[in-house]
Structure 1
Amino acid sequence: MSILKGYRVLDCSIAMAGPFAAQRLGDMGADVIKVEPTTGEWQRHTSAGAAYGNVINTSFLSLNRNKRSLAVNLKDEEGKALLYKLVATADVFLQNYRPGVAERLGVDYETLKRIKPDLVYVSMSGFGETGPYAKRPGQDLLLQSMSGAMRSTGIAGTPPQPAGQYLVDAITAYTAFEGALAALLHRERTGEGQLVQINMLDAIVANQMQEMTVYTQGLKPQRRSEEPHGHCYIRAPYGVFQTSDSFITLVTPHLPTLGQVLGVPEFESMVDEVDGHTLPQRDFIFRVTREKLLEKTTSEWRQIFDEVGFWNSEVYGYEDVVNDPQIVHNETFVEYEHPSEGTVKTPGFPIKFSKTPCEITRHTPFIGQHTDEILAEIGFSPLEIASLKETGTVAATTGEKK
């Protein structure tokens, strides 16, 4: 039996962070009901890389497995009453509306806890529920730019460097997932529900625990090198280097040994934690290493570096990741059949439980695919459901191919 089987989660979130957090709860067995507008959640209508499927685009597909869909108009009084009836059966309510929207819709924590006093209410925002930035849009790249992280990599004098993934969204999702689990544990011990507030800015700052403390406690400013050094607080050489045929990553090798391997006498008298951290020497070390690594292939350098115990790796693209033998061994990716999208291959479950394994029991739903089913569970008759559809309070689709 999955570890969260028997818990019900109402997912009223959009875009990436909220749906990703809710999907993790679904992967662990919770009954996750995606409460979305009758026209479908925003992410159904846009996709990263313009990767559109037959009915469901890949962005939505990737973030909404193990959920049921209830399509309801929450601006409609009947729709709101319907949601309240559903809240009475729920354990977790998750939303990432802009500050103030939940109150206007009547689905804020104070309102819902009167319906379900032990409800775990997870509220996600960009910058916090209050404060000078509360109304700013919580978009990933904007948060990356305000996190300080962009100035830890890249070359001095060039634009700050964003991450190659939706980093803040992902970290916020895992923070919300962690918060929901902790609050459920508290409820198991005490019977009390509570409000759990997560904001993207705090999540990405807290994720830089080590770097931020180096600055606040160690008083070391971020100083980027003139070379594309991998991190402003790590000694040289640390980064990605071109070889004669591709690229290799080299991580803080012992400098005297590196000098012997590369035939660079200047390195042989250097002290790792002194010269490797000194900015002028750091640039010199990087430049010389870069020039030397052009002389052999990645495979040749990897064999040499492995023999002397240097940390190194080839640089993967996604096509390399999915075929890597360790990835295959770990069963990092899972496959399942979807009625409109065919065989779906996607990252699976990063947490392994010996007694309560995660599994995919529901494919990513169509808009309102489970509307009838969910309403019947909370007491609506077939005639009442038909009437709600007629008035546009709810919607249901079967997801026929385009």
Structure 2
Amino acid sequence: MSILKGYRVLDCSIAMAGPFAALRMGDMGADVIKVEPTTGEWQRHTSAGAAYGNVINTSFLSLNRNKRSLAVNLKDEEGKALLYKLVETADVFIQNYRPGVAQRLGVDYETLKQIKPDIVYVSMSGYGETGPYLKRPGQDLLLQSLSGAMLSTGAAGTPPQPSGQYLVDAITAYTAFEGALAALLHRERTGEGQLVQINMLDAIIANQMQEMTVFTQGHKPQRRSEEPHGHCYIRAPYGVFKTADSYITLVTPHLPTLGKILGVPEFETMEDEVDGHTLPQRDFIFRVTREKLVERTTQEWRDAFDAEGLWSSEVNGYEEVVKDPQVIHNGTFVEYDHPSEGKVKTPGFAIKFSKTPCSIQRPTPFVGQHTDEILNELGFSDQQITALKETGTVTRTNGEKING
């Protein structure tokens, strides 16, 4: 039995952060119903890397497994009434509409708690529900820019360094997932539902707990060095360096030992970082290390560093990651069959439970694939469902493409 079996989650979110949070609940066994427009959620019509798949593009595919799809027009009064009936059966409601949209649609917390007083309502936004940034778009790269994260790495005089992943979306998703679980625990103890508000700006700032506190409490400026150092608050060498055949990552090695391996006498007289005295020498240490590491291959350096207990690593691309022996050992990726996309290989479950394991119960659904099934569960007859389809209130597809 999965740990969240018996809980129902209504996922009214779009793009990445909300759907990713709902996916995690589905992986743990919750009955996640993706409530999407009759033309399909926005992400169905756009994909990272233009990877469009056969019927379902890979971006949507990656974020919506273990869900059922109900395609309904919430601007239609019958559609809204249908959602309200579904809310009566739900435990968690997730939305990431722009501020004000939930109220206009009549699916805000104050409205839904009148229908289901113990609902756990997760509201996600870019910057918060109020404030001067209310109308700003809540997009990942914009939030990376505002959060200070881009200026903790890279070299002074070069452009700020964005992450190669949708970092803020992912962190916000896990924050929302954590918040939903905590609110469910509170409900189990007290019977009370509540509003859980998550915003991307607070989530990415909180993720920089250590760095921000070094600045606010330690009064250390966020100052990038001239070389592309890996972190503005960590001593050198700390970063990625070119070797004779590829790249290697080197992390704060014992400087005298590094000096012995590299043949750099200056390093052999340096002490490890204890009081900040080597931080001003970061650029010198970085440059000398960089000049030496190009002389041998990555594996040769790895062997030399391992022998002395220094921390280093090869640099993997995705091609290497999927074949990595530890990744294979961990079962990091899972595979499942999809009716239109064939064999799907995707990252699996980062949390492993000894008694209530995560699993894939459902492949990513087509638009409204489960509309009839869900409405039948709510007591609608086949004739009533047919009538709702004829008026455009709901839609059901089963593998055919649909225009947005």
Normalised by the size of structure 2, how large is the TM-score?
A: 0.98
Number of the residue aligned with 1:105:
105
Q: Distance in 2 between matches of 1:317 and 1:277?
A: 35
Query: 1:278 Cα deviation (Å)?
Result: 4.0
Superposed, 1:218-367 pairs within 5 Å as: 218-273=218-273, 278-367=278-367
Equivalent residue, structure 2, for 1:397: 397
Q: 1:275 to 1:246 in 2, by over 3 A?
A: farther
Q: CA deviation at 1:401?
A: 7.2
Distance in 2 of aligned mates of 1:322 and 1:275: 41
- CA distance in structure 1 between the aligned counterparts of 2:276 and 2:258, rounded to whole angstroms: 12
Partner Cα distance (2:23, 2:203) in 1 = 19
From the superposition, tell whether residues 185 and 77 of structure 1 become closer, same or farther in structure 2 (CA, over 3 Å). Answer: same
- The corresponding residue for 1:76 is 76
Q: Which residue of 2 aligns with 1:31?
A: 31
Q: Tell whether the 8 Å contact from 1:236 to 1:277 is kept in structure 2 after alignment.
A: no
What is the CA distance between 1:134 and its match in structure 2? 1.5
Whole-Å separation in 2 of the counterparts to 1:215 and 1:277: 18
AA aligned to 2:106 is G
Residues 276, 285 of structure 1: 8 Å contact kept: no
* Residue 368 of structure 1, CA deviation: 0.2
How far residue 88 of structure 1 moved from its aligned partner, in angstroms, is 0.2
Cα drift, residue 272 of structure 1: 1.7
Match of 2:218, SS state, is coil
Deviations 1:305-335 (A, max 9, x none): 0000000000000001000000000000000
Letter in 1 for 2:297: T
Number of aligned positions between the proteins = 402
Which structure 2 residues correspond to residues 128-277 of structure 1 after superposition, within 5 A?
A: 128-273=128-273
Equivalent position of 1:379 in the other structure: 379
Distance 2:280 2:96 in 1: 46
Which residue identity does 2:20 align to in structure 1? F
Q: CA 1:184 to 1:277, structure 2 compared with 1: closer, same or farther past 3 Å?
A: farther
1:7 aligns with 2:12: no
| CA drift at 1:361 | 0.4
The alignment's C-alpha RMSD in Å is 1.1
User: What one-letter code is carried by the residue in structure 2 that aligns with 1:328?
Assistant: I
- How far apart are the structure 1 equivalents of 2:265 and 2:328? 42
Residues 61-90 of structure 1, C-alpha deviations (whole Å, 9 max, x = no match)? 000000000000000000000000000000
Gaps of 5+ in 2: none
Q: Which amino acid aligns with 1:334?
A: V
Once the two structures are TM-superposed, the CA of residue 279 in structure 1 deviates from its matched residue by 4.7
Q: Which amino acid letter does the alignment assign opposite residue 217 of structure 2?
A: Q
1:276 shift after superposition? 7.3
Alignment match, 1:42: 42
Q: Deviations over 1:139-191 (max 9, x none)?
A: 00000000101000011011100000000000000000000000000000000
1:106-121 to structure 2, matched below 5 A, reads 106-121=106-121
In 1, distance between residues paired with 2:357 and 2:398?
A: 30
| CA distance in structure 2 between the partners assigned to 1:34 and 1:186 by the alignment | 24
Give the residue type in structure 1 aligned to 2:366: F
Q: Deviations over 1:74-126 (max 9, x none)?
A: 00000000000000000000000000000000000000000000000000000
1:366-386 deviation line (CA, Å, top 9, x unaligned): 000000000000011100000
The one-letter amino acid of 1:193's match is G
> What is the distance in 2 between the residues matched to 1:99 and 1:216?
30
Q: Look up the SS of the partner of 1:366 in the other structure.
A: coil
Post-superposition Cα deviations, 1:277-299, rounded to whole Å, max 9, x if no partner, equal 64541100000000100110001
C-alpha separation between the residues in 2 aligned to 1:151 and 1:277? 22
Counterparts of 1:168 and 1:272 in 2: how far apart (Å)? 34
Q: Is the 8 A contact 2:235 2:279 kept in 1?
A: no
* Distance change >3 Å, CA 123–CA 9, structure 1 → 2: same
Once the two structures are superposed, the pairs formed by residues 59-74 of structure 1 within 5 Å of their partners are 59-74=59-74
Is this contact kept in 1: 2:366–2:398, CA < 8 A?
A: yes
SS of structure 1 residue aligned to 2:273: helix
Change (3 A) 1:277 1:250: farther
Is the CA contact 1:67–1:364 (under 8 Å) kept in the aligned structure 2?
yes
Q: Where in structure 1 are there 5+ consecutive unaligned residues? A: none
1:56 to 1:252, Cα distance in 2 relative to 1, 3 A: same
Per the TM alignment, residue 274 of structure 1 is displaced from its structure 2 partner at its CA by 5.8
3-state DSSP of counterpart to 1:267: helix
1:57 corresponds to? 57
